[in-house]
């Protein structure tokens, strides 16, 4: 171990050359001081409270986990029931659509017309042809021009019509 610097001359310090003092220092190791934490009754009293708090938190987390699993199971059951209901309703819809398309066919309409309404198919004796007059079917109205302003407006409209407006 080195000696502290004390502002004296090292030439006169004979203890530096004494080997027996060095051996004693080397043989007697320094005791290390141990640090001890003082445990008072207050520190010891906090341990059961901490354990109770930890246990309560753990229990609360466990209960919330079980509740969430139960809720999830209930929702899955409701989804399954609604899926089955949807499937049965879709089957009923398909059956009704098939029944509707079968009832609207032309054969069914014809049978209904003959049986229920008493109608019958048309035959050649029931057909009549109508002849139309092939002459001109339009008549033009006479022009009554009472006012000169109406004549000017008609002339102007004719020009615009001719130009394509």
Assigned token pair, 78: 């409701």
pTM: 0.36
Which pLDDT belongs to residue 157?
92
- Look at residue 110 in the predicted model and tell me its pLDDT: 87
Dihedral class, residue 110 (left if φ above 0, else alpha if ψ from -120 to 50, else beta): alpha
CA 152 to CA 158: how far, in whole Å?
Answer: 10
pLDDT score, position 58 = 97
Give phi and psi for 111, each to the nearest 5: -65, -40
Which pLDDT belongs to residue 10? 53
pLDDT (average), residues 15-20:
66
Q: How far apart are CA 154 and CA 147, in angstroms?
A: 11
Position 14 pLDDT exceeds 90: no
- Selection from 121, 86, 127, 123 nearest residue 106 by Cα: 121
- 139, HSE (Cβ side, Cα atoms, 13 Å): 2
131 — pLDDT class (breaks 50, 70, 90): confident
More confident residue, 145 or 125: 125
Give backbone dihedrals phi and psi of 44, rounded to 5 degrees, phi first. -70, -35
- Where exactly are the structural domains of the chain? 43-123
pLDDT tens sequence across 27-84 = 655 666 776 766 665 556 568 888 999 999 999 999 999 999 999 999 999 999 999 9
pLDDT in the model for residue 126: 80
């Amino acid at each position: 171990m080195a000696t502290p610097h004390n502002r004296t001359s090292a030439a006169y310090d004979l203890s530096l050359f004494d080997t027996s003092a060095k051996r004693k220092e080397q043989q007697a190791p320094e005791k290390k001081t141990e640090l001890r934490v003082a445990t008072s009754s207050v520190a010891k009293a906090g341990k059961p409270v901490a354990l109770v708090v930890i246990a309560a938190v753990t229990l609360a987390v466990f209960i919330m986990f079980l509740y969430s699993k139960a809720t999830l199971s209930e929702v899955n059951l409701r989804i399954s029931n609604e899926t089955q209901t949807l499937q049965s309703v879709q089957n009923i819809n398909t059956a009704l659509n098939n029944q509707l398309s079968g009832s609207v066919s032309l054969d069914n309409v014809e049978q209904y017309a003959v049986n229920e309404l008493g109608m019958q198919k048309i035959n050649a004796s029931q057909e009549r042809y109508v002849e139309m007059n092939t002459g001109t079917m339009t008549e033009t109205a006479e022009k009554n021009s009472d006012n000169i302003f109406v004549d000017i407006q008609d002339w102007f409209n004719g020009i615009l019509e001719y130009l394509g407006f």
